[in-house]
Chains A and B, each alone.
Chain A
Amino acid sequence: MKPTDIAVPDYFHKVVDCQWACPAHTPVPEYIRLIAAGRFDDAYMINWTSNVFPGILGRTCDRPCEPACRRGRVEEQNLQKAEPVAICRLKRVAADSKGDISKYLPMTPSQKNGKRIACVGAGPASLTVARDLAPLGYEVTVFDQDPRAGGMIRSQIPRFRLPEQIIDEEVGYVIDRCVTFRGGVRINSMKKLLDEGYDAIFVGTGAPRGRDLDIPGRKEAGKNIHVGIDWLSSVSFGHISKIGKRVIVLGGGNTAMDCCRTSRRLGGTDVKVIVRSGFDEMKASPWEKEDAMHEGIPILNFLVPKEFVHDSGKLAGVVLEKVEAVYDAHGRRTLVPTGEPDEQFECDDVLIAVGQENAFSWIERDCGIEFNDREMPVVDETTFQSSLPSVLFGGDAAFGPKNIIWAVAHGHEAAISIDRLCNGEDTRNRPSPMVNLISQKMGIHEWTYDNDISNELRHKVPLREQKIALKDINVEVELGFDQKLAFDEAQRCLNCDVQTVFSSPLCIECDACVDICPMDCITFTEDGEEQELRERLSAPAPNLSQDLYVAGALKTGRVMVKDEDVCLHCGLCAERCPTGAWDMRKFLLNMTHAGPGCRSRK
C-alpha cells in the first residue's frame, strides 16, 4: 500500500467522523470538550461560526453526525446498547447555558463595500448568506413573505420542539444586527428583482408547497383535509388552534411526526399516523418516531390511502389498501396490494404530509435562469450558481427538500461564491479549509484532553411530564441536559480529533503500542495490497469506509498499519511509546467562509 499522506486535510478530517458527516463541518469534539470544561460561551461560538443556529439545531437538527459517530461502533459487543454520543443535545446545552455572547458577534462595518446583495426568503440558507456577507461590508437585503424572519424554522417546526424565543434570539443575531429585512414582502417577479441592480441575488425560498393527495373524496371533504405544512404554519402563526378528536396523519416523514404531535395538543385524542411504506423505511428520523409513539400515537404501516369517505361533504374516514413490499432483483422496492380487504378508519380530520415541492412560478422562464425537466433550476453543486452567474440558489430551493444544516452549508458556499464573484474571481476555485495539527502532550502522561474512556451509556434527555406537555402547544417537551448530565455525556466523546500521528524514523519496533492498544488497531507486518492487508491485521478491518493509516520505511522493512475504524483515541500507544514515534495531535479543521480568506492570494 502507499504510505498515508497525513498532510492531505481530508485524511484526518475523515477520522473525525462527526465533523466529516456534518454538512457544515462543525468541529464537534472541539466544542464538546469546551462543554465538559464548562466553557459554554466558547462552545456556542464555535457552533455559531460554523452552523449559525446552535440553539435551533441543538433541538431540531437531523444530526447526520450521530449515525457517523465512532462511539456507536466501539460500543458494539461491549455495552448493552451501542449508541453514539448525543451530539445534538450537547449543542443545545452550549446554547442554553451560555451567557451574553453578543460581544463576540462580528460588527458590521459602517463603511460599506458598495456591493448590494438580495436574499429571497428569510430561512436558514438566506440568513447564513447574510450573516457571512454583511460583516464584510456588503449591503444585504432579505425579503420574506412572512412578517417575521426564520422561514420554515418559524413556520413549520412546532413550538413544543422549538420555543419561539430561541428562534427570535438566533435569527435576531443576523436580522437585527447587520442586514435590512423586508418582511411581508413577497417577490413576485425575478425580472423585476434583477432590474433593481443587485450585484448578486440569493434564492433561499425553500420547498414551500406541500404535496397533495388526489384521490376520490379529496375535494368533497376538503374542509377537514389539510396539507400538513400549510396547516403547521397556520398553527405556528396562530390561525388554527383546534382540530377534531380523531385525526389521521398520512405520511411518514418528519413533517408527519410534527403534524401528529401538534394534533395531540390541539384536541386530538385519537391520533394515528398511517404510512405507505414499512415502519423501518419511513423517512422520519428514528428519534422523531419514538417521540410520537411516546405520546401515544400509533404508527400503522403498509397502508395506501384509496379514498376519503364523506357524508355529503362531512369527512367520515379514510379507506386504505393493504400492501406489502416486494423487491426485484436489483433490490428496488414496489408496494404490491396483498389482496386482503381494504380497511377503513374513521376520523374527523386528515393531515396530508406526503412530501414537499418547490414553487418557482415567480421566476420568469425567459429571464436567463435555466430550468430542468422537473421544473427545478439548474444549479451548480459547488458554486450554487444558476445559469445566470449572479443568481444563486441554496437550501431546499437548490436541490429539493433537505434540512436546516444542509441549508446552512449551502449558505456558506453560496456566500463564498458571491464574495469571489464580487471581487472578480473565478467561483470554481474554492478555498481550502484552515487546518491545524498540534501535539497535545503536556507531560509524561499528561495530555490537554481527558484520555480516560468513559464506559457510560448514552444519557437520555429528561422530558417534561406528559400531562403538562400535551396540554399546551407552547410548552417545550425536552428539558435538555442539565450541566451534570451534559458533563457525563460529553465524557463519552472519544476526542476523535486528537489524532494518532506516527513517525517511522523514530520507531524501534518494540511492539509496545501493539500490546497496549485496547482495540487491536495497530499491526506491524509485511506490506501488501489493501484488501489482503485488511484481513491479516491484529483484528480484521472489514469497515471499508474507514481508512488504514500506513507508514513504511521501518528498519525491518515492515510497515505500520493502523485501522482507524474503532480507535478510542485514548493515547495509550503514545504513552507506551519509548521514543515518541506516536504522538497525539489535535486536528482542528475550520471551513473557510466568505471573506479575504476565501479569495485568491494576490
Chain B
Amino acid sequence: MTYIAKPRLRHPNLKANKFGFTHRDYEGAVSTLCAGCGHDSISSAIIQACFELNLPPHRIAKLSGIGCSSKTPTYFLGNSHGFNSVHGRMPSVLTGANLANRDLIYLGISGDGDSASIGLGQFAHSVRRGVNMVYIVENNGVYGLTKGQFSATADRGSKSKKGAYNRDAAVDMVMLAMELGATYVARGFAGDKAQLVPLIKGAIAHRGAAFIDCISPCIAFNNHPGSTKGFDYVREHNEAVNRLDVMLPREAITVDYQPGEVEEVTQHDGSVLALRKLADDYDVHDRIAAMHHLQKSKAAGEIVTGVLHVDPEPDDLHANLNTLPTPFNKLAEKELCPGSTALDKFNAAHR
C-alpha cells in the first residue's frame, strides 16, 4: 500500500506512440497491493503491451472478478472501460459484453482462486465457446487476501509459508485451456517482462479465445523455499519453448533471424507473431503433441513457458453464431425488433 499518488511528472524523453501517448498514459491508479506483488508486474506488462500496440484506451474493456488479481484493473488502463464483477463470474459478464459490442478488445483479468475454484465452470465455458478475449490468470497458488491458504493451482507437495504440505492435486489451467479448445495458449512469468509483454501483445492480436497463465509470485505468502511459485523456484525451473516477437500490421520486420529459425503466424488484423524456437521438438500448432510435451515436462518438474499453442485459423463466438458484423449495441430498435408480422411468420414456420 502506498500513500502518495504516483507523481504526474514523467521522463522528458519518453517515447510516444501513434496517438502521442506515452506508456504513462496507459496507467491507472496507484496499486494498493503488497509491495513487490507479481500482479503489479503483470499490470505493468499490460500497460506496455497496449502502449506498444497503439491501442486507443477507449476501445478496451477490462473485466474481473474478486481477489487480489481482480483488483488490478484499477491499476492499469485508467481511461478504459472496466467492470469488476462477482467472484468467478467474470467470464460470463465478459461473454455478454462481447456479444453486445464485438468491437472492443476484452481483457479478462482473473486469479487462480477466481478461475480455478469458484469460477472454474465459467472459465471452461467461455473458453470452449471461443469468446474473442484475452483471459489472463494471475496465478500465485495461494489465497493472498485470506492470508495464504493453498489455492486449487498449488502443486501437490508444495509447502505453505507455515510449513504445511499441499496434499491435493493441482488444476493445470494451461492443460484445461488446451483441452477446451483455446486457440492461443501461453504461459508467462511476472518476473520476466521481456517474455510477458509479447505474450500479451500476441494474445490481443489473436481473434479468438486467448488464454495466458501467468505465474505471479505472492510476496507475502508464497515466495519461500518450499513454494513452487516463488521467484527463485520459477527462475530455476523455467523452460521457455520459444521467444515471441509481435510485429504490428505494415510494420517493417526488424528482427533479423536465420532462415528456418523463426515461424511467422499472421493474425487476422495483419500483425505477425514471429516465434523463435528454443525447444527443437516443440510445435505450437500441433495441439496434441504440445499437450504431450507439457505433461512430460511437468512430470520432470519443469515449468514450460512461452507460446504453447496457437491456431493460425481460429474461430470465435461470433463466427460460430453467425452474428452480424455490426455490434448489437449499434443496431437500432427497428433492426433488433423486426415487428409482429415477422414474428407471426417465424412462429408459423414452427407450427
Contact = CB atoms under 8 A, between A and B. Distances in A.
Interface in B13-57: 13-14, 24, 30-31, 34-38, 40-41, 43-44
A518 B3 CA distance: 15
A307 B2 CA distance: 70
A520 to B, nearest CB: 5
Contact of A578 (B14, B35, B190, B235): B35
B237 to A, nearest CB: 14
B252 to A, nearest CB: 20
Interface stretch (B4-12, B156-164, B170-178): B4-12
B37 A511 contact: no
Given A509-B231, A572-B4, A576-B2, A78 B36 contact: no
B291 interface: no
Nearest to B48: A515
Contact of B11 (A508, A509, A520): A520
Contacts of A556: 235
A76 B12 contact: yes
A578 B40 CA distance: 12
Interface residue tally on A, bucketed by range:
35 or more
B217 interface: yes
Contacts of B5: 452
B8 A455 contact: yes
Interface string A552-592: 00011000000000101010100111110000000000000
A515 B36 contact: no
A562 to B, nearest CB: 13
B2 A510 contact: no
Contacts of B7: 452-453, 455, 518, 568, 570
Given A445-B1, A577-B35, A512 B231 contact: no
A578 B36 contact: yes
Nearest to A73: B12
B231 A539 contact: no
B139 interface: no
Contacts of B235: 555-556
B132 interface: no
A539 B14 contact: yes
B191 interface: yes
Nearest to A444: B1
A194 interface: no
Contacts of B3: 445
B43 A515 contact: yes
Q: Is the interface of B mostly helix, strand, loop or mixed?
A: loop
A572 B2 contact: yes
Given A445-B2, A575-B35, A511 B191 contact: yes
Contact of A516 (B1, B6, B193): B6
B9 A518 contact: yes
B223 interface: yes
A542 B12 CA distance: 11
Contacts of B1: 444-445
A61 interface: no
Contacts of A514: 44
A598 B7 CA distance: 42
B232 A539 contact: no
B219 interface: yes
Nearest to A451: B4
Interface string A513-554: 011101111000000000000000001101000000000000
A361 interface: no
B222 to A, nearest CB: 13
A75 interface: yes
B12 A512 contact: no
B43 A512 contact: no
A77 interface: yes
Interface in B188-226: 190-191, 193, 217, 219, 223
B191 A512 contact: no
Interface string A198-223: 00000000000000000000000000
B321 to A, nearest CB: 39
Q: 5 closest Cβ contacts across the A-B interface?
A: A578-B36, A453-B7, A515-B44, A77-B12, A76-B12
Given A519-B9, A576-B35, 12 more contacts: A74-B9, A74-B12, A453-B8, A511-B191, A515-B40, A515-B41, A515-B43, A516-B2, A518-B10, A540-B13, A555-B232, A579-B36
29 contacts: A74-B12, A77-B10, A77-B12, A78-B9, A78-B12, A445-B4, A451-B4, A452-B5, A453-B4, A453-B7, A455-B7, A509-B191, A509-B231, A510-B190, A512-B37, A512-B40, A516-B2, A516-B40, A518-B24, A520-B10, A521-B11, A542-B13, A556-B235, A566-B12, A568-B7, A572-B2, A572-B4, A578-B219, A579-B36
Interface of B: 1-14, 24, 30-31, 34-38, 40-41, 43-44, 190-191, 193, 217, 219, 223, 231-232, 235
